[in-house]
Structure 1
């Protein structure tokens, strides 16, 4: 009975989300028709039509792959670095103090400032990798450190008394406690990495990137192209977020 109720709730959630999207599209259509200016705002139908033409362009796959490869690479590097730094800070308190000013600075400095500074150090081609990395590290670090510190002190002491091997401690004590914190951080930073990475590409304009396409659309006042690429970014970001969450859940349950 409970299982059926859970299924019904999931179905209702999907229905509500679909209705919300449809309502947003209807409002968008009404506003676009009211403005009646393709430079300011195009209709969803026009954007959909442009999506179909973009899909068949010869450089589409290469453009998407370029951006995806760099942002995903930066995200994975940031995820790994954040976890390692958190573990070191958990084991050794001085490490936490050493990392503190760096993490605070990274979180406080605007993405645009980092992009401009990093353009001095890196070529535009690799800019989105480093920016995605910087955005991910502090969030993963903080959540992982909080998760490690949330482990029950009594359970840790019991593990010491019974001399439980560290492999078993990690698997059966630490991982279950860490799981919600790391999954939450992964869900948040997956979207943040895409937003920051594409923003870096718009400023740095590496050749053959999604950011370059967005910038050129803005230059030529090609609004349907601009919105079509924005939709593509949103779809890729959502898919990536879901994959990250699934991967983390699978890894942390082992």
Structure 2
């Protein structure tokens, strides 16, 4: 019964959002400024049937995938080292502070000068996601009960065994949470980079071209496509993680 109520509340939220969107479009009085949802959805379905859209979607998805594959393992490894050794944590703290304080647009523009248009979105995604994964891992390490640490030390287990049997299970929920938040962040950063540097096949490039040609409904359609792609990948990863948990529980 509770899930049914949540479904209806979610549906009500969607309907309210579309209604507010339609009212805003009518108030603006021009589709060039703010097109309505019906026009955007029609343009979206027209867009997804084109070859340029499929190529752009594939290019952006590949950049997101590369950004995650590069940043997540390295962030976890660095996070484990920093969580276990205060000296490593102190050494890396200035780097994390600089990354957190640097505007994303500055990172994109500087990276563009070094890496070019094709690699800049991947590098920017890596730079933004890496500290998130490292910070989540450090938090997971610090959440381990100190009494359990003393117990492992008392039984004379090696550092490798302690990490494998104590710390890895403890940090897994933090890593999975970091992965979920990093996926949406990665999509935002990759597409923002694509809008600025305009690689050949990219969702962000489609947005920029639609904006330059004053095709506002198409700009909204590209944005809708990005939101759907990001939501789908996040749902897919969450589903895989839940199924993995169920298999481990059954074993």
> TM over 0.5: same fold?
yes
User: Unaligned 5+ residue runs, structure 1?
Assistant: 1-7
In the alignment, the residues of structure 2 paired with residue 171 and residue 80 of structure 1 have an alpha-carbon distance, to the nearest angstrom, of 16
Aligned to 1:27: 20
In the alignment, the residues of structure 1 paired with residue 22 and residue 115 of structure 2 have an alpha-carbon distance, to the nearest angstrom, of 42
Q: CA deviation at 1:69?
A: 0.2
* 8 A contact 2:71–2:130 mirrored in 1: yes
In the alignment, the residues of structure 2 paired with residue 226 and residue 193 of structure 1 have an alpha-carbon distance, to the nearest angstrom, of 20
Change (3 A) 1:104 1:251: farther
Aligned to 2:191: 198
Aligned residue pairs total 247
In the alignment, the residues of structure 2 paired with residue 126 and residue 248 of structure 1 have an alpha-carbon distance, to the nearest angstrom, of 29
Aligned to 2:220: 227
Q: CA deviation at 1:88?
A: 1.5
Aligned to 2:146: 153
1:43 is aligned to 2:36: yes
1:123 is aligned to 2:103: no
Worse-superposed segment, 63-72 or 176-185: 176-185
1:95 is aligned to 2:88: yes
Q: 1:110 aligns with which of 103, 116, 119?
A: 103
Scaled by the length of structure 1, the TM-score of the pair is 0.89
Change (3 A) 1:229 1:169: same
SS of residue matched to 1:236: helix
Q: CA deviation at 1:166?
A: 6.6
In the alignment, the residues of structure 1 paired with residue 155 and residue 50 of structure 2 have an alpha-carbon distance, to the nearest angstrom, of 64
1:216 is aligned to 2:196: no
1:65 is aligned to 2:55: no
Scaled by the length of structure 2, the TM-score of the pair is 0.90
Aligned to 2:49: 56
